[in-house]
Structure 1
Amino acid sequence: MSIVQGLVVVLHLLGMAAILGGWFATRTSPRVHPAMLWGARSQIVTGLILVGLAEAGIGTDGEPVNHPKIGVKLVVALAVAALVEIANARQKRFNLPVAIGPGAPTPIMVAAPLVQAAAGLALLNVLVAVLWT
């Protein structure tokens, strides 16, 4: 395994850890943690770099790239990033200093379902990576 590929794998794993770690850190009142945003973004970038390296034959020991698996992982990673970005935007919008009446949604209420879904999809992506052979 080349040093470059090893470093990209480490960054890829750190991105996954940031998503799930951010969710674990806020799981009692789910909201977007900045680490989740950057983790989701880095997962896409480092994943694409890893596929490019694999297509170039670097660190794969001659094994072909499993394109259906990569396609599924890319779609799931894009969904995770979209959910985290949308949740972050909603969270910011509802944090504005505006008079809100009783029963109005709070920042946590509007972000929680999206954050939960993003964490679940991130876990699904880990399962696809490990179990799909």
Structure 2
Amino acid sequence: METLRHIVLFVHLVGFAVLFGAWAVQAFGGKREIVKLMHIGVTIAAVAGLALAAPWGLPDGVEMNYAKIGTKLVILLIIGAFLGIGQARQRKSGQVPTALFWGIGLLTLVNAGIAVIW
């Protein structure tokens, strides 16, 4: 069961890698727009994160860190909101607001860092 939990953790990190990779390509490729791959990455990270938040496969005596789970969930919801708002503005005006775009990348790094370090 612990092996399955590690696989789900790996998938969670892959979700952040997909999101950040798609963001980085757009950030340093010159267009700075929100693409479908970013939505796929955040969805993978969210689903795997919710699976990790369930109390299964933990060794005896290990307790869940609910502060970490809550913090990561709030950041993930903000990233999702930034993606949705940014894509709506992109459709309307043809470009994503700069603060929203860079916020997506920064918050993705913060969330992945929390997953690994905390």
Q: Which residue of 2 aligns with 1:116?
A: 102
Listed one character per residue, the Cα deviations across residues 12-64 of structure 1 (whole Å, up to 9, x for unaligned) are: 12210111101111113321121111111222221011111xx13x0x32311
CA RMSD of aligned residues (A): 1.6
Q: Which amino acid aligns with 2:79?
A: V
Say if 2:34 and 2:86, in contact at 8 Å, map to a contact too.
yes
Separation in 1, partners of 2:24, 2:35: 10
**Given that residues 24 and 105 in structure 2 are in contact (C-alpha distance below 8 angstroms), is that contact kept between their aligned partners in structure 1?**
no
Structure label with greater radius of gyration:
1
Change (3 A) 1:111 1:33: farther
In 2, the alpha carbon distance for the partners of 1:7 and 1:112 equals 35
% identity of equivalent residues: 30
TM-score, length-normalised on structure 1? 0.76
Number of residue-to-residue matches in the alignment: 114
Runs (4 or more) in structure 1 with deviation over 2 Å come to 5-11, 110-113
When normalised by structure 2's length, the TM-score is 0.85
Q: Give the alignment of 1:44-83 within 5 angstroms.
A: 44-52=46-54, 55-56=55-56, 58=57, 60-62=58-60, 63-83=62-82
For structure 2, list consecutive stretches of 5 or more residues without a partner in the other structure.
none
CA distance in 1 between partners of 2:31 and 2:45 (Å): 24
Work out whether residues 79 and 107 of structure 2, in 8 Å CA contact, stay in contact via their aligned partners in 1.
yes
Q: Secondary structure of 2:64's partner?
A: coil
CA–CA distance in 1 between the matches of 2:113 and 2:6? 20
Distance 1:85 1:131 in 2: 28
